[in-house]
């Protein structure tokens, strides 16, 4: 008898919390999209989420190759009441669609120069290749065979990509250059090109730059 009484009292104590909690059914257009609630991955595709009284719950919807979605639901007096249901129509990540995954980003590639080309002709051709891809050259020193383009920046819905090319002399005999395609991302739109601390190496390259390394090898290297 006492056990039943204690159980009833316990249920009665929990009843107000149950009565005042709100439930939101979250669903995504991608059935395998992760649903992360307050930092914990709790399901994919569709999930019913309880929002306790006087609390807020943060929900993130994520899938590789798609834009990220985030929503906070609050069950507090004076705040907008959570909806019964919310559907997230996930869109493709435009930064990924404009790029390709590559092992040529952020790595020095050595290109041994064709012995039939003299140094002046090599420098001229190198500049021509660079200007085929980049609008502005920041540093060009023929004496030291060093060239660096200005950053080329492009903003997307949830990302900012900056790209530059660096060419430098590796050794004189045989004449060898190192070419590096620098590709970086910030993870946020409209990031200033000067905000170095917000950019990180990206293992992708925008499609318009994907052939720059191979162009150097084809037009200047030993074939």
How does the average pLDDT of the chain come out, rounded? 92
| Mean pLDDT calculated for residue range 32-43 | 97
Tell me, what's the pLDDT at 105?
96
User: What pTM was estimated for this model as a whole?
Assistant: 0.83
Among positive and negative, which fits the CA dihedral 90, 96, 102, 107?
negative
pLDDT at 221: 86
Q: Tell me the per-residue pLDDT of 185-196, one tens digit each, with 9 for 90 and over.
A: 999 999 999 999
130-171, pLDDT tens digit by residue? Answer: 999 999 999 999 999 999 999 999 999 999 999 999 999 999
Q: What is the pLDDT of residues 197-218, one digit of tens each?
A: 999 999 999 999 999 999 999 9
Give pLDDT, residue 195. Answer: 98
């Amino acid at each position: 008898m006492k056990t039943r009484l204690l159980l009833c009292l316990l249920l009665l104590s929990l009843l107000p919390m149950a009565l005042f909690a709100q439930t939101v059914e979250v669903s995504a257009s991608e059935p395998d999209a992760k649903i992360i609630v307050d930092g914990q991955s709790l399901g994919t595709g569709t999930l019913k989420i309880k929002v306790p009284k006087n609390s807020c719950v943060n929900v993130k919807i994520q899938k590789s190759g798609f834009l990220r979605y985030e929503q906070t639901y609050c069950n507090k007096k004076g705040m907008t009441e959570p909806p019964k249901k919310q559907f997230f129509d996930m869109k493709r990540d435009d930064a990924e669609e404009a790029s390709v995954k590559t092992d040529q980003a952020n790595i020095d590639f050595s290109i041994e120069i064709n012995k039939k080309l003299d140094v002046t002709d090599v420098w001229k051709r190198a500049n021509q290749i660079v200007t085929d891809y980049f609008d502005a050259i920041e540093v060009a020193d023929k004496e030291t065979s060093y060239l660096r383009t200005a950053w080329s920046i492009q903003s997307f819905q949830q990302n900012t990509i900056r790209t530059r090319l660096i060419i430098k002399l590796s050794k004189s005999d045989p004449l060898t250059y190192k070419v590096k395609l620098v590709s970086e991302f910030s993870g946020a739109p409209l990031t200033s090109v000067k905000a170095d601390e917000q950019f990180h190496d990206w293992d992708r390259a925008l499609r318009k730059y994907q052939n720059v390394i191979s162009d150097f090898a084809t037009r200047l290297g030993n074939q």
